[in-house]
């Protein structure tokens, strides 16, 4: 692998010199997009991955290449940044962090550690730095839990690293609290039936790598089954009207034919005004992707199997590269600059208010 030391040294020089936007060395964004470095890893940290925005602050989880089941007993760091890339504070969580999200009801930060097993959920109040810890353990699939999505009054987790094949256990669960006890209820089975969007035919799933999860602009759950090179869409999750859709992921290499490709985080432009932040675990940096106007509803994905960052056409599953020259892109989020969150949503959900 090509050494990234010269890149990190150059970035550090520009940061110490007071530059607010760091020039990109070696990474290329296709017009009309432009690319800059939002932040580099603080000293001693590595492998930035999950990214989430709370008000005007950005939270990035650093996995530091620790054991994904927490068996090494080491801790991860979650760094809170201002929008100019300067550091506010750092939170230490025991285990390997690989999932972050902000509860839109309570505005608390949910952090998942140990996605391969022995999973822990830490809920942090960034205003007071107080936190509560919940043990999720190892699920019926034999693995852990990876990512979090909020939809209305429900919170969902992806059930990662299944150790059974075929996977007949839940791949998505919903979260409900009973005091200090967390109840995880099945939402999507790993071997559920689905409709394949490109062909319209019915397929039976065998989700061997449920990973990142988000909502699309219509409120559907969007699950990345990373090693399977596919995305699963669940509408009306947990209801009698639940419907499951399947999208196989492909791209066209510069020299070759259409090939399947692995992706990590996928996110959607929710307005024309904003920018994309994505983390590269190999280059140890978080990048900022801008353009004069985003097309609302467009899906962007970090294709670690490319590697590149591109736009995803859900009708065909084809991903078109936008950013190349990256190493291992992972966490990706669209930062909507057209609106500002209120202090608290009007429609509060009792189950999560106390957490």
For 162, other C-beta atoms within 10 Å of its C-beta total 24
Percent of the chain with pLDDT over 90: 86
282 pLDDT higher than 70: yes
What local confidence, expressed as pLDDT, does residue 188 receive?
98
7 pLDDT higher than 50: no
Rounded mean pLDDT, 125-139 = 97
97 pLDDT higher than 50: yes
Rounded mean pLDDT, 42-59 = 97
Give per-residue pLDDT as tens, 294-324: 999 999 999 999 999 999 999 999 999 999 9
Q: Where are the domains of the chain?
A: 5-353
Rounded to whole angstroms, the Cα distance separating 252 from 115 reads: 31
What local confidence, expressed as pLDDT, does residue 26 receive?
81
Long-range contacts of 32-37, Cβ-Cβ distance < 8 Å, separation of 24 or more: 32/291, 32/292, 33/289, 33/290, 33/291, 33/322, 33/323, 34/289, 34/290, 34/291, 35/287, 35/288, 35/289, 35/290, 35/323, 36/287, 36/288, 36/290, 37/11, 37/85, 37/285, 37/286, 37/287, 37/288
The two three-digit tokens of residue 345, written as one number: 């949503």
At CA 346, angle to CA 345 and CA 350, rounded to 5? 85
DSSP designation for 142: S
Give per-residue pLDDT as tens, 340-351: 544 444 456 766
What local confidence, expressed as pLDDT, does residue 4 receive?
33
Give per-residue pLDDT as tens, 168-178: 999 999 999 99
What does each C-alpha distance from 231 to 14, 130, 317 come to in angstroms?
38, 35, 9
Rounded mean pLDDT, 9-18 = 35
Percent of the chain with pLDDT over 70: 88
What local confidence, expressed as pLDDT, does residue 351 receive?
65
Rounded mean pLDDT, 9-32 = 55
Rounded to whole angstroms, the Cα distance separating 171 from 221 reads: 12
338 pLDDT higher than 70: yes
* Band of pLDDT at residue 255, cut at 50, 70 and 90: confident
Architecture of domain 5-353: 6 Propeller (2.120)
């Amino acid at each position: 692998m090509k050494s990234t030391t010269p890149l990190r040294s150059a970035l550090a020089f520009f940061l110490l010199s007071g530059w607010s936007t760091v020039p990109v060395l070696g990474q290329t964004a296709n017009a009309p997009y432009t690319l800059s470095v939002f932040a580099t890893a603080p000293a001693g940290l590595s492998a930035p991955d999950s990214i989430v925005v709370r008000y005007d602050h950005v939270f990035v989880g650093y996995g530091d290449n620790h054991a994904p089941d927490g068996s090494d007993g080491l801790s991860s760091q979650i760094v809170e940044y201002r929008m100019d890339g300067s550091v506010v504070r750092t939170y230490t969580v025991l285990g390997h962090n690989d999932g972050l999200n902000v509860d839109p009801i309570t505005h608390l930060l949910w952090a998942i550690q140990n996605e391969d097993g022995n999973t822990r959920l830490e809920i942090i109040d960034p205003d007071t730095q107080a936190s509560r810890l919940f043990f999720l353990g190892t699920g019926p699939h034999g693995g852990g839990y990876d990512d979090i999505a909020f939809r209305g009054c429900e919170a969902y987790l992806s059930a990662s690293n299944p150790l059974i094949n075929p996977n007949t256990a839940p791949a998505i669960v919903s979260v409900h609290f009973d005091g200090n006890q967390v109840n995880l209820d099945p939402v999507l089975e790993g071997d559920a039936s689905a409709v394949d969007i490109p062909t319209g035919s019915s397929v039976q799933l065998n989700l061997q790598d449920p990973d990142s999860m988000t909502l699309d602009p219509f409120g559907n759950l969007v699950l990345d089954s990373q090693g399977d090179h596919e995305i699963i869409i669940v509408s009306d999750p947990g209801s009698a009207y639940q419907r499951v859709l399947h999208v196989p992921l492909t791209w066209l290499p510069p020299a070759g034919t259409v090939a399947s490709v692995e992706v990590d985080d996928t996110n959607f432009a929710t307005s024309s005004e904003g920018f994309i932040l994505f983390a590269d675990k190999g280059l140890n940096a978080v990048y900022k992707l801008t353009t004069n106007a985003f097309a609302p509803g467009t899906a962007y994905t970090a294709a670690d199997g490319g590697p590149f960052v591109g736009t995803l056409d859900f009708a065909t599953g084809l991903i078109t590269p936008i950013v190349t020259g990256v190493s291992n892109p992972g966490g990706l989020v669209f930062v909507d600059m057209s609106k500002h969150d209120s202090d608290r949503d009007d429609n509060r959900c009792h189950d999560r208010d106390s957490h």
